[in-house]
Amino acid sequence: MNQMNQQLEQQSEIDKYNSQMTIKFKNKVQKGELCIQRSQNLTTLEFLQDFQINKLELRECNNMVPKLARSTIKELTIQFCKLQNIDSIRLENLENLNVAGNYELNNCSFERFKQLKQLDISNTNRTDISNLLLPELKILVLSRNKIEDLTSLSTLVNLEQLDISYSEGLDINLLEQLQQLRLLNISYCFVQSINTLKLFTYLVELDVSGNINIDLSSLKYLVNLKQLNIACTNTHNIDVLQSLNQLKQLNISENEIEDINDLKYLVNLTKLNISETKVQNIQMLSKLEFLKELDLSKNPEMNFQPLQKMVLLQNLQLQSNMLKQISFFNELMNLEYLNLSNNKNLDISPIYYLVNLTNLDISYCNINDISSIHLLMNLEVLEISSNSIYDIHHLQNFVKLTYLNLSYNSVKEISVIKQFICLKTLCLSTNKGINITPIQYLTQLTALTLTECDLYEISALRPLVNLEYLEIGRNNIFFFYPIRDLDVSVDVRFNLIIESSDFFTFFDTKEKSKFIKKRPNKQQILLASRMKIVDTTTSSIRDINSKRKNYYYSKKQIVEDTINSFQEKQHEILLQLTNKVVLLFSLLDEQLFCQ
């Protein structure tokens, strides 16, 4: 009888939760779009029938059965929801369907979706595509499956974009009937030859990256290409690219290339990636007058001085180059994005010239002084984690910041952040002893990380009404106050949180604490469900929800155990302290006696 009452009570709580979430989602429906993520308890979407929703996204909603019919939805995403079939989806007007990451979906048919123009069935353990009879389909994503026979694709006469990346054992000769393709991704498919593609003259985007030792000679026929990726193909020279003068974006990274002089023929290039190559001389890049984005990362032997002539650059990546000086920056006044991360002992003083920067990454550079960036008042994204910074008052004028990462530094005082009224994401993890009180003024924050900051309480976070993600693991927090009734993801691992009528609890046993490890009770489960707890030391939220019926323990018992645990701990500490005091007096007595 007790078990039956518990089950009824549990179902009542779940129904109540569904009702609350239904109201919340109704209020969130704006501009015809709705996104629901990691909702473990919402099991129905019937209320959506009354709304004019054009786009619906469901991600990691494992217990939901998406019964959808006679709806206005034209774009539907159901990712990583453990979907086994699509029988309950009867949306005849659906144009865009994404069911990626549902491993049990296998070879189900999409034949009834006659209006589909875009379909993503990547990572669904699919082996057969013979039932993809979709005459209107223009975009198809089949990546990370086990498909070998592609002959049935010839029926897709309107197909323009095809992604079959990460498909081992693929025979691309079977694509011969798809010469109308404009975009093709066959990366990491163990392809050795692309001779078939010489007939694909309509191609404007091609990705063959990750196919080691592939023969690229047929590329010269694809003169209409605008985007090309040949990264990680063990390529040694790029002379085959000379005829591709329409190229605007090119990725030749992670190759054995030493000479890039053939790039001079690619006069329309706007974006170039030559990271992790053997290139040393980049003098010729100054001739590419339309080049705006350049990635030179992981090239420690490269001579970067020619960069000073590339005054039109807007995006530059120089991470992991063992740079010490950046004097060549003086003329790069148009730079908006700059990544200098992982250049140990870098002198960043010349950076103050770059007043148009909006995005700057100087993490992992062993910096202790950031005074030289105080003039960069247009910054919106600032990444300065993993340095030796303790003073941040030079950031006081950065009122446009939306993202700030100060993690792994020695910052204690952050009163300057009160002025960051636009800040959405703040990362302060591993700043031991930091005063988090000023955070209460950042009412626009949606994400906050405070892991390993030696915190004892977080009451200053209560005014953060827009918070969606909170990380406070590895602290000394005893009491966790729910941050209002928000749709919040919380990581509270490695703390000492205890039970109370207004809090959820768990005990830290991984740090060899003597507190007793308990399974979460009903209060914990419901609060965890509402706040989407990412992880605790006792169990992940997925375990909590999957085994919820086994976890009902009386609150009274947990409180009693908690009190007993604290009393034992308190007694032990008091005993140790007493012994130390007795020892101290004994030593004093001996000294006095000797005198």
The DSSP line for 318-374 is --SS-----GGGGG-TT--EEE--S-TT---GGGGG-TT-SEEE-TTS-----GGGT
Distance CA 339, CA 355 (A): 15
Q: Rounded to two decimals, what is the model's pTM?
A: 0.79
367-393 average pLDDT score:
96
Angle, CA of 458, 463 and 469, to the nearest 5°: 70
**Beta-strand pair 425-427/403-405:** parallel
Q: What is the model's pLDDT at position 329?
A: 86
Torsion of CA 506, 512, 513, 516, to 10 degrees: 60
Q: How many CB atoms lie within 10 A of CB 90?
A: 14
Measured between alpha carbons, how far is 71 from 61 in angstroms, rounded to an integer? 20
pLDDT at position 566 is 56
What pLDDT sits at residue 387?
97
Identity at 582, one-letter amino acid code? V
What is the C-alpha to C-alpha distance for residues 524 and 543, in angstroms, rounded to an integer? 13
What per-residue confidence (pLDDT) applies to 100? 94
pLDDT of residue 50: 67
pLDDT of 347 over the 50 cut? yes
Give CA–CA dist 560/505, Å, rounded.
13
Please count the other Cβ atoms lying within 10 Å of the Cβ belonging to residue 71: 22
Confidence of residue 499 (pLDDT cuts 50, 70, 90): very low
Question: Across-strand partners of 448?
Answer: 426, 470
- Is the model's pLDDT at 544 over the cut of 50? no
In contact, 373 and 348? CB cutoff 8 Å: yes
Q: Are 495 and 515 in contact (CB under 8 A)?
A: no
Backbone angles phi, psi at 135, to 5 degrees: -65, -25
In the predicted model, what is the mean pLDDT of the chain?
81
pLDDT (0 to 100) of residue 88: 81
What is the C-alpha separation between 479 and 368, in angstroms, rounded? 35
pLDDT above 50 for 517: no
Distance CA 197, CA 195 (A): 5
pLDDT of residue 264: 94
pLDDT of 551 higher than 50: no
Q: What is the DSSP letter of 199?
A: G
What is the DSSP track for 121-145? -TTS-----TT---TT--EEE--SS
3-state helix, strand, coil in the chain (%, to 5): 25, 15, 60
Length of the chain equals: 595
Confidence of residue 40 (pLDDT cuts 50, 70, 90): low
Q: What is the pLDDT at residue 200?
A: 94
Burial 457-475 (b: 16+ CB within 10 A, else e): ebeebebbeebbbbbbbbb
CA distance 53 to 262: 51
Higher pLDDT, 590 or 522: 590
Alpha helices in 428-547 (DSSP H): 522-531, 541-546
d(CA 249, CA 252): 10
What pLDDT is recorded for position 569? 60
Per-residue model confidence as pLDDT tens digits over 164-212: 999 987 888 888 889 999 999 999 999 999 999 999 999 999 999 999 9
Q: Give 37's pLDDT tier (boundaries 50, 70, 90).
A: confident
Residue with tokens 């009160």: 418
pLDDT in tens, 217-264: 999 999 999 999 999 999 999 999 999 999 999 999 999 999 999 999
- State the DSSP string of 54-73: SEEEEES-TT----EES---
Q: CA 525, CA 544: separation in Å to the nearest integer?
A: 6
